[in-house]
């Protein structure tokens, strides 16, 4: 369950965690963004695609909620096996994607999700059952999981990768 009780705190964490991630990404030259080993066999490019895919998945869930539809990928009850399979599908689908395209989409997706989150009424974020797909979680849990918490996880992976490169 969420640690957030105010939308302003969530927005601050989204910005802070994203800045930390981008600061560490800036330390890597482009050729190192393609090296495997950041998360298993994933490169930094693959990690960025992963973040984008999950941001976009959340945006789809949110749009479905607004339109009173069930999302095609249901977040409630998604176990580790299903998440791993989904992550593998994202990885395979984006393997041939050029790095410059991934970087552009990485920045554009963040702008989009941040703008959408800014527009979500605070009451909607913290109301249990506001959307039928949220289950026992509130909307803010899904926002944090697909933004600031995910950025912090990714930043840890990037920092570890950088440390291994300089050894």
pLDDT tens digits, one per residue of 6-41: 999 999 999 999 999 999 999 999 999 999 999 999
Dihedrals φ, ψ of 141, to 5°? -60, -45
Q: Is 42 helix (H, G, I), strand (E, B) or coil?
A: strand
* Cβ neighbours for 76, distance < 8 A, ≥ 6 positions apart: 133, 134, 135, 137
Residue of 27, 26, 25, 45 lying closest to 35 (CA atoms)? 45
User: How does pLDDT run across 93-102, given as a tens digit for each residue?
Assistant: 999 999 999 9
What average pLDDT does the structure give for the chain? 94
Question: Is residue 2 in some structural domain?
Answer: no
Task: Report residue 86 CA to chain centroid gap.
Answer: 13
Question: Is residue 64 in some structural domain?
Answer: yes
Side-chain-facing half-sphere of 37: CA atoms under 13 Å: 9
105 neighbors 163 (Cβ within 8 angstroms): no
144 token code pair: 């944090």
Question: Is residue 19 in some structural domain?
Answer: yes
Q: What is the pLDDT of residue 1?
A: 57
Q: Is 112 exposed, middle or buried (0-12, 13-18, 19+ CB in 10 A)?
A: middle
Question: Is residue 41 in some structural domain?
Answer: yes
Spatial distance between the Cα atoms of 166 and 164, rounded to a whole number of angstroms: 6
User: How does pLDDT run across 140-162, given as a tens digit for each residue?
Assistant: 999 999 999 999 999 999 999 99
Domain count, the chain: 1
Mean pLDDT for the stretch of residues 106-133: 95
Q: What is the pLDDT of residue 77?
A: 74
Question: Is residue 35 in some structural domain?
Answer: yes
Question: Is residue 90 in some structural domain?
Answer: yes
Question: Is residue 1 in some structural domain?
Answer: no
* CATH number of the domain enclosing 35: 1.20.120.450
Task: Provide the domain limits for residue 19.
Answer: 7-165
101 neighbors 115 (Cβ within 8 angstroms): no
């Amino acid at each position: 369950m969420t640690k957030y009780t105010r939308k302003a705190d969530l927005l601050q964490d989204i910005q802070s965690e994203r800045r930390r991630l981008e600061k560490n990404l800036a330390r890597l030259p482009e050729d190192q963004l393609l090296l495997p080993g950041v998360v298993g066999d994933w490169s930094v490019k693959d990690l960025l695609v992963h973040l984008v895919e999950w941001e976009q998945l959340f945006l789809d869930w949110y749009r479905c909620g607004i339109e009173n539809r069930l999302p095609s990928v249901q977040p409630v009850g998604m176990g580790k096996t299903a998440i791993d399979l989904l992550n593998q599908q994202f990885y395979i689908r984006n393997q041939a994607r050029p790095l410059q395209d991934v970087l552009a989409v990485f920045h554009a997706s963040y702008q989009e999700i941040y703008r959408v989150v800014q527009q979500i009424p605070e009451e909607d974020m913290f109301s249990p059952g506001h959307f039928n797909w949220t289950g026992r979680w509130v909307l803010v849990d899904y926002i944090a999981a697909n933004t600031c918490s995910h950025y912090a996880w990714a930043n840890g992976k990037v920092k570890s990768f950088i440390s291994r490169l300089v050894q």
